[in-house]
């Protein structure tokens, strides 16, 4: 009989949750009792979990007491968070949860602070001599305008994003050379491209301005690299070439063994001292050299693609949290595995119970 491991999965409504749950259910070693948590009562992961709770956001002062209560009541063995905003708070309370028998494979708080804030991340990697995009961190409209010029605009396109944000939120490409007619009639209205005149209309006269990372545009292939790290050592790194995306989530991807991407991701993880399931976004610059876009110090939205390619990183993350992860992982990655994602529905009865066709 398989041993039962009780999992608390926060962010059950996130894009990653269905794939993580599918990966756990696919385990040949364990039977998982999965408890989902999310602030959204219609979270898809609730339908796939054995039990669920509607809980507060990480910003709520009741978040940690709520998590502790659920872990105690449900005798949780391993806690996985799919929500970046929760990670620092959870890492701060690692010892309390551990004493209750709940384990996590999260990075230390100082490391999380350095990677969640993209400005701090770029500065840290630059100090280490690791290649990063040309960038400036700005906190006012005036600084923002100066950064655009310094980074080569309008001769070269420039992109920008808040230093703290999840997924593709707030990401835009400033490019006045793009065909506006093409953009107007053939691109979806959610296109990331914006013109200088449009940008000025939005930011001029605004007294409040977020901290924004302005960086060189990296025009070539984009990768998500799923890494499992143990005490600052990368145990395995699997690049997924992102061939098509919607809202920052891969809808078509390819597991491809590009060694320079693997080497770059491993160096970043090991120099920063990361721990657990890590996601690294990388793009190739104009010379096709790999450069960082961002780090998600948690499981990524399409980690299930790795499971389908023979390497079940969520289950390995459980083994790591329980202290039974082998020191040398025999890679079983089936390189060349391609994924195409499609829509699937969850329906709800009037009483709130869910079902699928």
Tokens of 124: 């840290």
Tokens of 347: 């329906």
Q: Hey, where are the domains in the chain?
A: 4-105+345-355, 112-117+219-340, 134-216
Q: Would you state the CATH architecture of domain 112-117+219-340?
A: 2-Layer Sandwich (3.30)
Query: Which has more confidence, 313 or 191?
Result: 313
pLDDT in tens, 71-126: 999 999 999 999 999 999 999 999 999 999 999 999 999 999 999 999 999 999 99
- Collapsing DSSP to helix, strand or coil, 228 comes out as strand
For tokens 């959870």, the residue is 90
What is residue 335's predicted lDDT score, i.e. its pLDDT?
Answer: 97
Q: Is 3.30.1490.20 the CATH classification of the domain at 134-216? A: yes
What average pLDDT does range 196-220 have in this prediction?
A: 84
CA-to-CA distance for 284 and 261, rounded, in angstroms? 9
CA-to-CA distance for 87 and 166, rounded, in angstroms? 13
H or E stretch covering 216: strand 212-216
What is residue 92's predicted lDDT score, i.e. its pLDDT?
Answer: 97
Question: Dihedral through CA 101, CA 314, CA 115, CA 301, nearest 10?
Answer: -130
Say what the pTM is. Answer: 0.92
Give 42-60 as a DSSP string. T-HHHHHSSEEEE---TTS
Q: With 70 as the cut, is the pLDDT of residue 21 above it? A: yes
CA-to-CA distance for 153 and 176, rounded, in angstroms? 9
Q: With 70 as the cut, is the pLDDT of residue 328 above it? A: yes
Give 286-328 as a DSSP string. TT--EEEEEEESS--TTTHHHHHTT--HHHHHHHHHTT---SS
Q: Residue 286 — pLDDT band, cuts 50, 70, 90?
A: very high
pLDDT in tens, 254-268: 999 999 999 999 999
CA-to-CA distance for 94 and 269, rounded, in angstroms? 21
What is residue 329's predicted lDDT score, i.e. its pLDDT?
Answer: 80
CB 242 within 8 A of CB 253: yes
pLDDT in tens, 41-85: 999 999 999 999 999 999 999 999 999 999 999 999 999 999 999
pLDDT in tens, 297-307: 999 989 999 99
CA-to-CA distance for 38 and 186, rounded, in angstroms? 37
What average pLDDT does range 305-310 have in this prediction?
A: 97
- Bridge partners, 52 (sequence order): 36
CA-to-CA distance for 68 and 29, rounded, in angstroms? 27
Tokens of 351: 């009483």
Q: For the domain covering 4-105+345-355, report its CATH number.
A: 3.40.50.20
Mean pLDDT of the chain: 93
Q: With 70 as the cut, is the pLDDT of residue 189 above it? A: no
What average pLDDT does range 128-133 have in this prediction?
A: 97
Q: With 90 as the cut, is the pLDDT of residue 278 above it? A: yes
What average pLDDT does range 209-218 have in this prediction?
A: 92
What is residue 311's predicted lDDT score, i.e. its pLDDT?
Answer: 96
H or E stretch covering 272: helix 259-272
CA-to-CA distance for 284 and 282, rounded, in angstroms? 7
Closest CA to 216 of 272, 269, 287, 117: 287
What is residue 107's predicted lDDT score, i.e. its pLDDT?
Answer: 97
């Amino acid at each position: 009989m398989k041993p039962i491991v009780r999992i608390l999965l926060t962010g059950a409504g996130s894009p990653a949750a269905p794939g993580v749950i599918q990966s756990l259910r696919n385990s040949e070693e364990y039977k998982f009792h999965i408890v989902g948590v999310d602030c959204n009562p219609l979270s898809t992961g609730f339908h796939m979990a054995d039990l669920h709770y509607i809980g507060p956001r990480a910003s709520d002062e009741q978040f940690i007491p709520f998590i502790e209560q659920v872990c105690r009541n449900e005798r949780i063995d391993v806690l996985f968070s799919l929500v970046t905003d929760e990670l620092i708070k959870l890492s701060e309370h690692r010892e309390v949860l551990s004493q209750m028998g709940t384990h996590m494979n999260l990075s230390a708080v100082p490391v999380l602070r350095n990677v969640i804030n993209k400005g701090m991340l770029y500065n840290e990697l630059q100090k280490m001599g690791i290649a990063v995009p040309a960038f400036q961190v700005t906190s006012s409209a005036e600084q923002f305008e100066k950064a655009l010029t310094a980074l080569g605009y309008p001769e070269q396109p420039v992109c920008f994003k808040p230093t703290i944000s999840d997924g593709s939120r707030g990401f835009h490409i400033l490019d006045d050379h793009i065909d506006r007619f093409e953009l107007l009639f053939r691109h979806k209205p959610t296109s990331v491209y914006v013109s200088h005149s449009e940008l000025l209309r939005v930011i001029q006269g605004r007294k409040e301005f977020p901290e924004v990372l302005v960086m060189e545009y990296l025009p070539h292939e984009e990768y998500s690299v799923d890494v499992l790290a143990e005490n600052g050592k990368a145990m395995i790194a699997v690049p997924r070439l992102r061939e098509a995306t919607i809202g920052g989530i891969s809808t078509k991807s390819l597991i491809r063994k590009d060694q320079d991407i693997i080497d770059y991701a491993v160096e970043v993880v090991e120099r920063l001292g990361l721990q657990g399931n890590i996601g690294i976004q990388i793009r190739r610059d104009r010379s096709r050299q790999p450069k960082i876009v961002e780090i998600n110090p948690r499981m990524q939205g399409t980690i299930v693609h790795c499971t389908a390619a023979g390497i079940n990183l969520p289950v390995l993350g459980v083994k790591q949290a329980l202290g039974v992860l082998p020191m040398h992982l025999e890679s079983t990655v089936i390189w060349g595995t391609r994924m195409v994602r499609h829509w699937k529905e969850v329906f709800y009865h009037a009483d709130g119970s869910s079902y699928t066709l």
